[in-house]
Amino acid sequence: MILNAQLKSTNQSMCHNINDTPQILHAYWADKDGKLIKFPSYNSRLVYICIITNKEAVGKDYDISFFHMANGKIEKVCMNIDNIVINSTKMLVPIPFDEKIFKAITSNIIDVEFYLLKKGGNKRFYFKNQKLKIHAVIFIWEIMEHMGWYIGAKTQHRWFKTPSCDKPYHYFDIENIIKFDDVLKYRPINDLYNKLIEDKVWFTSNAQKQLVDEIRKMLIMGHASLPNNIIKESHFGNFENKLITSFWQKKQITQIDEYYIQYQGYIQPKILEVIFSSNRSEIVNELYASLGDFRIRIAVMGSIQTTNKEYYKINIKKVAFYIIDSFDFIDNTFFSQPLGLWDIVNKKIVLDMNIRNAHYITNSDYNDYRHDTGIGQDYIIYSDVKEIATSDSFFIHKNVFSPNLKFSIK
């Protein structure tokens, strides 16, 4: 290709030979302060090119063209500007761009280069290694917002705003991006939730045994106390979502998560199963885009009463439901988890494998972004807490709270 040859033969030294003709001495991708950049901010669609010229170039018109190399060939890149007027020997040129930058480009990463050509001239000013790396994943949150998937977009924002980390249990969202009632709008989750209530999962034999075990832990930590001759009823349980360092789990968790007694997992359909499913349009929704396989955990609050010399009465008065999920892009060695087909230009998720220009996004695309930018923090999501009132009681032998003694439930 002619342009290939011209670019190969062009270098910065050509800009210094003739002092009395307009010359572009140097140009590079920059931020609004003129500092060199290698990639745009995930939520900005404006970058700059800093252009340095001799004084003879001031007032002259230049065409500017953008491209990237794909398999040894030049592909045009659509940026929202094609000509400029030099107004000083050092100037910042705003370069707006949008999703159309990926029009007719199937790669999930593009390295955008540029050259300038003086109007009426034939000398291209091209500066090798001045590349702006743009990742397709920075458009996913925009697509989600365009589709009305605001929860999914919020989970993306949280990841893109924070420094690189691929260890989700080091960081937490306790601002409740995920609202439990919002999740209940989806029939499979609502059905599951109603089934948990119908079955009284907090009051099964296993749940009662687990609750007693958790109360024992509370007593050891001073988070609960037993009734006595003066105080006939004591209380247990805490639904706060503040972060604590768990003595029992040896890591940071929320307060409510310290003593939960039951959980129910929910497994999302795999993306390849969805694509080939006859009802895929019903499966792919905001819930699918926001959460992976997650767990509904159950905690309780209540009281302990003295009834006689042998037994305590355990009263469950409140039940809390909350969701915990890991927002991460951790992969195994051999296979990167698919995250869907995304039509970046038309801002939608694609359910047809035959659609052209759809971008197949996987965990590896987010990991590539993290590697290149040093940004992208995996984290644990906690939903807010949904409480219900209940009145369930069982009796337990007082010896249960004596060390090394097995207990019995009456």
Report pLDDT for 18. 47
The fold of the 2-136 domain, in CATH, is: S-adenosyl-L-methionine-dependent methyltransferases (2.20.130)
pLDDT tens digit sequence for 296-329: 999 999 999 998 889 999 999 999 999 999 999 9
**Across 162-171, 203-212, 258-267, 351-360, least confident range:** 351-360
Mean pLDDT score, 345-371: 87
Does the pLDDT at position 9 exceed 80? no
Confidence of residue 291 (pLDDT cuts 50, 70, 90): confident
Confidence of residue 273 (pLDDT cuts 50, 70, 90): low
Does the pLDDT at position 346 exceed 50? yes
Confidence of residue 350 (pLDDT cuts 50, 70, 90): confident
Closest Cα partner for 319 from 297, 299, 295? 299
Report pLDDT for 356. 73
pLDDT tens digit sequence for 364-404: 999 999 999 999 999 999 999 999 999 999 999 999 987 65
Does the pLDDT at position 283 exceed 70? no
Report pLDDT for 190. 96
Report pLDDT for 17. 47
**Across 32-36, 237-241, 242-246, 353-357, least confident range:** 353-357
pLDDT tens digit sequence for 105-132: 889 999 999 999 999 888 899 999 999 9
**What is the pLDDT of the chain when averaged over all its residues?**
89
Cα gap 27→7, rounded to integer Å: 15
Does the pLDDT at position 2 exceed 50? no
Closest Cα partner for 91 from 151, 41, 26? 26
Confidence of residue 70 (pLDDT cuts 50, 70, 90): confident
Residue type, 372: D
Does the pLDDT at position 10 exceed 80? no
User: What does the domain layout of the chain look like in residue ranges?
Assistant: 2-136, 162-328+378-401
3-state secondary structure of 18: coil
Instruction: Provide, rounded to the nearest whole percent, the portion of the chain with pLDDT above 90.
Output: 71
**Across 11-15, 58-62, 134-138, least confident range:** 11-15
pTM: 0.86
DSSP string, 224-286: -----SS--EEEE------EEE-TTTSSEEETGGGG--EEEEE-PPPHHHHHT-TTHHHH-SH
Q: How many other C-beta atoms lie within 10 A of the C-beta of residue 365?
A: 21
Does the pLDDT at position 15 exceed 50? no
pLDDT tens digit sequence for 150-160: 999 999 999 99
pLDDT tens digit sequence for 222-238: 999 999 888 899 999 99
Decide: 54 and 14 in contact? Cβ < 8 Å.
no
